[in-house]
Structure 1
Amino acid sequence: MGNWAELPEDLLVLTANKITLFEDFLSFSGVCRSWRSVAINDNFKGSEQIPWLMLSDKDKPDERQFVSLRKGGVIRTVNLPEARGKRCLETLGWLVTVAEDGEINLLHPFTRVQINLPHVTTFKHYQMRTFDKNTSFISKAVLSSRPEESEDYALVVAYGDSGYVCFWRPGDMSWTDVRISLLYFRDIIFHGGLFYGVVGRAFVFAFDVWGPDPTRTWIALQAPVMYTGGGMKEQLFIVESKGVLLMVIQDLSIPKFRDDRYYVPGGTNRSRVDYRTPRFQVFGAALRGKGEWAEITSLADNALFLGDNASFSVDASRFPGIKANCIYYTDEYWEFRKQGGVLRHTGIYSLEDGSKSPCYEEESLNPICPPLWVNPSSF
């Protein structure tokens, strides 16, 4: 067998062009110096990627580990001191980081490129008493497009106890609040040139930050008539999947400890946790026409990813290791604190039979940055 390092450059480039998964591209670049020399952005032709799970920082706070769902283990460890001690949220492969002093940045986790954003004090409804690094002052952050692909993009965030919503565009010196008649946005997505947010008791609002009145919102969809909830023990997500808007309702059951006692705020229970299987309901509506909701009992070949990131859908038939007709989720129990942290875990919920299986065997007690789904990109 010949020396792999001596393969012609044009053959290496041709091989690199055939790779579609970012994690395989990383493996390609690690073979030797000559292979690494052609493993550049121009030679990577992949588009939609298998999401990775970014774990909370542990013993080495300057490092973050990424788990491959296909390979079932840590695929990459990244030196990321820019995220140390900061609240992190993910959108389109970028991290929105919020520091204890209120500094906000967009951070690409693999290139470490940062984009400075206006300070948290420029939020219209900013209050010092509500801002703390151990709370989710910013609960959601959603980009309209990747900053490396277009200079005309927008970042929308939901913030504060009441779920106010504001946006920023390149060149802005402060955040601009949108006008909403109902508070407490649960989730936000960008689709078809508009931002959509699910608010309160499952109403869907839309707003156009590029329109003549960028702060105006309007009701795009009424709440599903089958939805009778609205309590704080439910989490609502909004996801676009193949042109259909999906609303996912997750029942946030209280975590149950193995000695059959429930943990309550201020308690001292340190028992290991057994999780109840969460229940999910999925509704779908076309954004054109009447836009009426209908309950969906099957996602077909699709899989949904929900958590402290912009929720998204993946065609599981294209990616080995991703389970079709399933919901990948990260649980968060901000109100149920244990050992000074916030109890979190990840799981896979089957819409077919309601069963739950672990996604990655780790319980996170990190009060700042939970495990996140990340869409990897080379940038």
Structure 2
Amino acid sequence: MGERVEWSDLPKELLPIIGKSLETRVDVLRFRSVCSSWRFSTPLFPANSPRFPFKVPHPSSSSSRSSYLCQRTLYRLQPLNASTAISSSSSSNQGWLIKVEESNSGELRLLEPLSNRQIRSSPLDPKTLKLNLLNCRIVELTKACVLSFFYTVGPRSEAGRNHVSTRKFITGVNKAVMFPNSAWTSADECAIFVLFLDGKLGFAKYGNEELTPVNDWSPEFDDIIVYKGQFYVVDRLGIVSWIDCSSLKLVQFSPPLCGLGGQKHLVESGGALYVLDRYLDGERRIQLDNNFSVRVHNCPKTVGFQVYRLDEEWGQWIREKSLGDKAFALSDDCSFSVSTRELFGFEGNRIYFLDSAEIYVFNLEDRSFKELVRPGDDFAIFWALTNLA
């Protein structure tokens, strides 16, 4: 058996190679925290990396406002000590789902993972909240982006500056996605797609002044995600296409979906591509003006879901009648899949979704609905995090 070598004694020329193989910011932070030589070998923010929020073209070319792309990250926070579990019947492998967003001042906002409401009120003071990362494991699950603009309000000071800076989300925007989006992404490589509520799709590279219409602004798209390093969209017939970013041409990837639901959602789970077909009790009617503000917006209620998995080998849709111990979540900024064996608060074979700003749960087995009422959510999250310290 060879001689055992301490991690801190690895050859220095290997450290940058190891560091640049890490994809997420959390992994880079972990790597840099080993010792001083590891920390100095790998920068926290590489040169020319995008720093959120960053300026992007406003959806309306006639608008005088600047819009910004803000990033949110979903993490699974898992205790390493089984005694920190919420109940004795809970698995020590389970953790909590948290969502974090970085503000324009560099501060971090803690958001409710599904509704994206900022967690403000709590019996505990967030300023005193501390985490001991030696007692927990943080795993990055996915990233999401939102488009907003910042403005200042309040009385002006002698220096001519407003006292309070706040922001507002750009109405009419359904989703924003960016790729690549790793710890080593260069800003010059970033491509951004903006999907509007009326189904139109716009594209921009980092630094562009205007959005370029995709497919001549044809209003037909329901959702867009990054799947296997490529942008994929689904239209309202359930046809999935991937986008060639150099030409903005759409290449059909799937046959039409046989489902007749009123809204389609794309979800990746276990390396496979799914479409959640949402059935509504009425027709969606959305019209945007020249500033991409919602003029007419009819919001019918959700009455059911069907789940389809794309069999890429045979090029056909397979209807899934059970998700097993998996659950799908449809937030207003991203869709994702979770394993209920790894997270508290989620049940298998369920779809968690927003409807009229409220969270509902759809049981795929018996087709039932339940509104998710979680009183004291703020305190529960802060209690859980604080007990990891």
Instruction: Please give the TM-score of this superposition, normalised by the length of structure 2.
Output: 0.50
Instruction: Compute the RMSD of aligned alpha carbons.
Output: 4.2
Deviations, residues 15-55 of structure 1 (Å, cap 9, x unaligned)? x99xx944869xxxxxxxxxxxxxxxxxxxxxx9854479x
Q: Which of 300, 304, 307 in structure 2 is aligned with 1:282?
A: 307
Q: Return the alpha-carbon distance in structure 1 between the equivalents of residues 270 and 231 of structure 2.
A: 17
Q: Return the alpha-carbon distance in structure 2 between the equivalents of residues 192 and 134 of structure 1.
A: 29
Deviations, residues 265-302 of structure 1 (Å, cap 9, x unaligned)? 99xxxxxxxx977311111113x323201111111221
Q: Confirm or deny that 1:99 pairs with 2:146.
A: no
Deviations, residues 236-273 of structure 1 (Å, cap 9, x unaligned)? 1011111221111112337xxxxxxxxxx99xxxxxxx
Q: Confirm or deny that 1:331 pairs with 2:376.
A: no
Q: Return the alpha-carbon distance in structure 2 between the equivalents of residues 326 and 253 of structure 1.
A: 20
Instruction: Please give the TM-score of this superposition, normalised by the length of structure 1.
Output: 0.51
Q: Closer, same or farther in 2 for the Cα pair 1:143/1:324, shift >3 Å?
A: farther
Q: Closer, same or farther in 2 for the Cα pair 1:50/1:311, shift >3 Å?
A: farther
Q: Which of 265, 287, 294 in structure 2 is aligned with 1:237?
A: 265
Q: Closer, same or farther in 2 for the Cα pair 1:49/1:164, shift >3 Å?
A: farther
Deviation at 1:135, TM superposition (A): 7.6
**When the two structures are aligned, how many residues end up with a matched partner?**
235
Q: Which of 190, 196, 200 in structure 1 is aligned with 2:226?
A: 190
On the 8 A contact 1:284/1:295 being kept in 2, the answer is: yes
On the 8 A contact 2:301/2:355 being kept in 1, the answer is: no
Aligned 1:63-212 pairs, distance under 5 A: 66-67=111-112, 92-99=142-149, 136-146=171-181, 148-151=183-186, 152-159=189-196, 161=198, 163-179=199-215, 183-209=219-245
Q: Closer, same or farther in 2 for the Cα pair 1:324/1:205, shift >3 Å?
A: same
Deviation at 1:137, TM superposition (A): 1.9
For structure 1, the 5+ residue unaligned runs are: 1-12, 26-47, 55-61, 80-90, 102-132, 255-264, 267-274, 333-343, 363-379
Letter in 2 for 1:278: V
Match of 1:317 in 2: 341
Q: Closer, same or farther in 2 for the Cα pair 1:135/1:94, shift >3 Å?
A: closer
Q: Closer, same or farther in 2 for the Cα pair 1:180/1:311, shift >3 Å?
A: farther
Deviation at 1:202, TM superposition (A): 1.6
Identity across matched positions, percent: 25
Bigger Cα Rg: 2
Q: Closer, same or farther in 2 for the Cα pair 1:22/1:134, shift >3 Å?
A: closer
Letter in 2 for 1:165: L
Q: Which of 262, 279, 288 in structure 2 is aligned with 1:251?
A: 279
Q: Closer, same or farther in 2 for the Cα pair 1:321/1:355, shift >3 Å?
A: same
On the 8 A contact 1:92/1:146 being kept in 2, the answer is: no
Match of 2:318 in 1: 294
- Secondary structure at the counterpart of residue 237 of structure 2: coil
Deviation at 1:147, TM superposition (A): 5.5
Q: Return the alpha-carbon distance in structure 2 between the equivalents of residues 158 and 308 of structure 1.
A: 12
Letter in 1 for 2:195: A
For structure 2, the 5+ residue unaligned runs are: 1-29, 35-74, 81-93, 101-106, 128-140, 152-167, 283-295, 376-389
Deviation at 1:157, TM superposition (A): 1.2
- Secondary structure at the counterpart of residue 341 of structure 2: helix
Match of 2:163 in 1: none
Q: Closer, same or farther in 2 for the Cα pair 1:277/1:315, shift >3 Å?
A: same
Q: Return the alpha-carbon distance in structure 1 between the equivalents of residues 374 and 309 of structure 2.
A: 31
